[in-house]
């Protein structure tokens, strides 16, 4: 029998980014005592402040900057997993950024796919929060990343994500796996069934959301003028 879930809303905060409910079919990953099933992929503080996602994954295509990390951690009402580089920004600098992110309150350090296993190993010996290693193809050395100290894999393989998840899950039965869910509920379910424990969701951008709001304002104005 399905349980009834009471819901309480706010008049001023009714417009929030809600992750697709099917994500909650995932088992979740218990990280530092918190069970996480959904991760919002965003660095937009307005969106981060107005979402029902369990956590935030803050990865962006620029060199990691502590001012950005600090801003996100101050705004986010949920755990944050912070990108610490591994591509252009790597080595000691990436490790130092991971340590600073931990001291600021991050729940995990996310390293990019090109990160060398030696860097992961040195980072593992330096920080206490879990290292989340990104995997983008079946050819990635995910075994090496895990042996080096990565505690969680973040699978981001585009349309091939579910297949990558399934392959890794067959080899590692209890490994924590985060994966991108794709654009539809069907693709999210497919990824969960392949073995993902938690799903990353990419929200619409502020400009698109605001565009919808402005369209509604215009419609309301036209009705008032009739």
Confidence of residue 222 (pLDDT cuts 50, 70, 90): confident
Q: Determine the Cα–Cα distance for residues 22 and 187; give it in Å rounded to an integer.
A: 10
pLDDT tens digits, one per residue of 29-86: 999 999 999 999 999 999 999 999 999 999 998 999 999 999 999 999 999 999 999 8
- Give the mean model confidence (pLDDT) for residues 18-39: 96
pLDDT, average across residues 163-189? 96
pTM for this predicted structure: 0.90
pLDDT digits (tens, 9 = 90+) for 147-168: 999 999 999 999 999 999 999 9
Q: Which residue has the higher pLDDT, 2 or 205?
A: 205
Q: Which residue segments constitute the domains of the chain, with CATH numbers given?
A: 21-225 (3.20.20.60)
**pLDDT score, position 9:** 79
Read off the tokens for 86: 């591994």
Asked whether the predicted pLDDT for residue 220 surpasses 80, the reply is: no
pLDDT at 198 over 70: yes
Is the model's pLDDT at 226 over the cut of 70? no
């Amino acid at each position: 029998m399905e349980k009834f879930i009471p819901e309480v809303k706010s008049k001023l905060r009714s417009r929030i980014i809600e992750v697709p409910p099917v994500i909650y079919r995932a088992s979740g990953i218990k990280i530092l005592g918190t069970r996480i099933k959904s991760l919002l992929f965003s660095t937009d503080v307005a969106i981060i402040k107005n979402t029902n996602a369990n956590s935030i994954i803050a990865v962006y295509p620029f060199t990691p900057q502590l001012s950005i990390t600090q801003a996100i951690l101050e705004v986010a009402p949920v755990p944050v997993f912070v990108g610490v580089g591994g591509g252009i920004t790597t080595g000691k600098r990436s490790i130092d950024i991971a340590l600073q992110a931990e001291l600021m309150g991050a729940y995990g350090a996310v390293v990019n796919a090109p990160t060398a296993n030696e860097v992961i190993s040195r980072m593992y010996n330096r920080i206490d929060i879990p290292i989340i290693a990104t995997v983008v193809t079946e050819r990635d050395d995910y075994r090496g990343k895990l042996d080096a100290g990565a505690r969680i894999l973040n699978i981001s393989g585009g349309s091939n994500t579910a297949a990558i998840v399934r392959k890794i899950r067959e080899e590692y039965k209890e490994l924590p796996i985060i994966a991108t869910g794709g654009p539809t509920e069907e693709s999210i379910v497919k990824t969960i069934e392949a073995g993902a424990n938690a799903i990353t969701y990419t929200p619409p951008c502020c400009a698109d959301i605001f565009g919808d709001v402005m369209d509604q304002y215009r419609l309301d104005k036209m009705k008032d003028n009739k």
